[in-house]
Chains A and B, each alone.
Chain A
Amino acid sequence: MDYLVVFLVLVVFLQTRVTDLKRAVVCLASQSVIIAIACFVIGFSHGNDIHAVMPGVLTLIVKVIFIPGAVYRLVQKLKNEREIVSASNVNYSTMAAALFLVMGYALVERLMPGAAGRDIVASSILMIMTGLSLMVLRKRAIIQICGLITLENGIYLLGLLMTEGLPLVVELGVFLDVLIAVVVLVILTSRMRLSFMTTDTSVMKKLKG
């Protein structure tokens, strides 16, 4: 489990540094793989029935295969697209991520000193905040989608740890939610590419009345 957390933090930090869209999607997929493994670990530590396998399988299908696949297909259609930003912006997101990590640990120390899953809680806070900061600081729609999924993964991980397995219906609902959100976002992004020839969200300001 500790190794998983180390990898997770590594992937999240990597994600704040990536500017190439394809790599961002790969990062996202690998992050989701780690979440899925975490699901299996937590699931098998509590029991051996279908409920233990289900979250992990769902994560694999939805977050590792389907969502990154859809985004990847979209990215392949985009030619010459990079997150063209000054390096300072990337550095700011990494710095923010570092701060969030410290904050997460400080929070865990305060709220539940000596708890078993303190590393996981801290890393999920890191993921939630980093996802938000990706959505705020970056301009490309694809990276913002990645940010949303990262946020979602963070919440999911935290929920999984806290509740030790949600009811199946709730989990299905959560996955459906994310799925639909991403489908809508992917459609919107491809429409945006058609209309504006770019996925830079700052051009959307032109639409304001």
Chain B
Amino acid sequence: MDFMEMSLLVYLLGTVTLVWPKKAELGAHYFGMLCSIVASGMVVFSSLNYLLSSGSRWLIDLSWGQYSLQADGWSGAFLLLTGVAGVIISIYALDYGKGYLGSRIRALGGLWNLFLLSIVLVLISGDAFTFIVSWEIMALVSFMLVNHESEKKKTLSAAYQYMVMTHIGTAAIMVAFYLVGSSADSFSFADMARNSLYGYMRNAAFVFAFAGFALKSGLMPLHIWLPNAHPAAPSHVSALMSGVMLKVALYGFGRFAFQFIGMDVFWYGLIVMIMGLVSAFLGVLYATMEVDMKRILAYSSVENMGIIFSAFGCGMVLYSMNFPMLSVVAFTAALVHAFSHSLMKGLLFMSAGCVMHATGSKNIEHMGGLAKKMPYTALFTLIGCMALSSMPFTSGLVGEWLTLQSFITLAQQAGSPEMRLLVVFAFIMLGLTGATALGCFVRMYGIAFLGRARTHIVEKAHEMPFFMLAGLGLEAVLIVLVGVMPDLLVNLMQKVVSGTGITPMGNPLGIMWGGSGYYALYSPALIFIVFALIGVFVVASIYGSATFQAKEVTWNCGTVPTSRQQYSATGFSKPLRRAFDGILNPKRRTTYLRKEHAYFGRKLHYELSIPDLFNDKLYKPLQQMLINSSSSFHRIQEGSVSIYIGYTMVAMIVVLIWGVLL
């Protein structure tokens, strides 16, 4: 019995907390979380085993009739990130979950284990049935976890929106599986890889698979459930959903692209790439507009999934243009960024949980100066924010840089000027995304953690208990580790997609193009040298000259500056809102509450809302259409039995007349 099977059993053991006696609720919580830590640790070990042995063959092979479990390198890569996130977030949840004492904490622990179990089962399922069943369990359990605080009306509606959207996605995936499976006459993945789909049916299978998995990973315009569901869920749940569940969709799509549908059609990759780019840019743009910490992070997930999918699409395009070696770089970029995004998004959602725990609010406009109250949390959050805005020496840069590199190679290899123009445009979009992400996270960190307290809720903030900090710290250490020594991760991941392991080679100096090993794709060592040179230059220029330091009060036209005069989060994003007015369409409303005097004593109420573009332009009309069409159906469904019998009669008459005329 290897680690994989044991981990499944331990997860199953963890669900025992669902029926734990109510008296020992805290025990149930600890038991559940310990089970998930142990089991996720085993998942990490077994996934390393899959990754280190050669990638193409099946490594576990269990089957019970129709159902089978199998894992290869591609699932190994995702099992690794699931395991790592599972261990760390469960450690964090040891303390964080205690906040739910007395409000269904047993259910939380049990469902947590079930959620991880279903994710692992999706990743190791060896046939379409197992995949769909575990996928559905994953959707239902995550729905219940999102709906955990169901007393709040907002949570309830967010959860149901998530439920509806995710089932639409599942339906699309089922259609895709059906199309592929019926052409292969079998639903096991090994047989489905030998399917005989072609032409329109293959296009349909691709479109359905992509739509289903893009919905789950929150690509625009299918993202609308995501910014509502993540803030509604408990923080460790949203960390796991954003960090892992979104990637599981990439796993599924990768399985389709690599094995079932193939990547030799040019426009498949193009669609994936363009949709990825659009959601990367729009995601980060909306993230910059939000003031709710978790909604910022949720939109940032849309952005990062967009980057991952655009890298994947770029790889598909390169493959279809017959550059398999170059496409490996892009696929590696997608995997590396998926892994590092799971690290940083896990970290930041957990830190949002810490902030909520400390202040009771998610709105960054009410915070400020948290860094003094909770220094460790602030430090780890800073590392997470740096990673998400892809600063050097963090894991965020590795994947994004590799993505950029593969776009450059695509531009070089592009066959036609139009294609080259498109890729240049893609390049610009990606750059714009990176810059906006930097602004977004400077804003989030700066407004929440720096400056002075804006409201009194910050006064009672305090440092977090040990296990929560441990969770944050572990993620931060991993982020820096991957950022400084990317070769560890890149070597693992590129073996998954290439099988041979030549092209992007990692060594301690950085990641090299294959072959000679002289040209670096990305090298933290070089960046370090540049930074060191600049540092030396700056120090040398200052050294020796007279320097002085003076501490003064900020000059404020003779008055003492108050915390209300600080940059607000809304104000910080104003230039961007102006620049992208056409896309964002912000609705501003100023209300004068009291007007006693023409100039002073006026109370203003200023309201700013950014409607979601797709919600207004796509989903509202769709919903209206659905309602209209159902009310027209209602007209023929009067509820009177004799009219129904009348329909039967009319049908009979029509059949008889048809018989007469034929």
Contacts and interface: CB of A to CB of B under 8 A. Distances in A.
Interface in A91-106: 103, 106
B640 A205 contact: yes
B639 interface: yes
B660 interface: yes
A79 interface: no
A201 B641 contact: yes
Contacts of B639: 205, 208
B642 A135 contact: yes
Interface centre among B643, B657, B660, B662 (most CB of A within 10 A): B660
Contacts of B652: 128-129, 132
A139 B645 CA distance: 13
Nearest to B661: A110
B536 interface: no
Contact of A132 (B640, B645, B657, B662): B645
A128 B653 CA distance: 11
Contacts of B646: 136
Contacts of A204: 641
Contacts of B656: 103, 107, 125
A129 B653 contact: yes
A136 B659 contact: no
A140 B659 CA distance: 33
Contact of A136 (B645, B657, B660, B662): B645
A133 interface: yes
A116 interface: no
B660 A133 contact: no
Contacts of A170: none
B532 interface: no
Contact of B642 (A107, A111, A129, A201): A201
Nearest to A108: B660
A110 B642 contact: no
B660 A132 contact: no
Contacts of A136: 642-643, 645-646, 649
Interface centre among B640, B649, B653, B662 (most CB of A within 10 A): B649
Contacts of A111: 659
Contacts of B641: 201, 204
B536 to A, nearest CB: 81
Interface string B626-662: 0000000000000111110110110011001101101
A149 to B, nearest CB: 15
A124 B660 CA distance: 16
B657 A103 contact: yes
A201 B643 CA distance: 12
Nearest to A104: B656
A110 B660 contact: yes
Contact of A107 (B640, B643, B648, B660): B660
Interface in B66-92: none
A201 B641 CA distance: 9
Contacts of B660: 103, 106-107, 110
Nearest to B640: A205
A103 B657 CA distance: 8
Contact of A133 (B643, B649, B657): B649
A59 B659 CA distance: 31
A110 B657 CA distance: 11
A26 B656 CA distance: 30
A132 B640 CA distance: 15
Nearest to A138: B642
Contacts of A128: 652
Nearest to A208: B639
Nearest to A132: B649
A103 B659 CA distance: 11
Contacts of A205: 639-640
A128 B645 CA distance: 13
Interface in A121-153: 125, 128-129, 132-133, 135-137, 139, 144
A17 B639 CA distance: 27
A135 B565 CA distance: 79
A124 B150 CA distance: 61
A201 B646 CA distance: 15
Nearest to A207: B639
Interface centre among A110, A135, A136, A204 (most CB of B within 10 A): A136
A106 B660 CA distance: 7
Interface of B: 639-643, 645-646, 648-649, 652-653, 656-657, 659-660, 662
Given A133-B649, A205-B639, 8 more contacts: A128-B652, A129-B649, A132-B649, A135-B645, A136-B642, A136-B646, A137-B642, A204-B641
6 closest A-B pairs by beta carbon, nearest first, are A132-B649, A136-B646, A208-B639, A136-B642, A107-B660, A135-B645
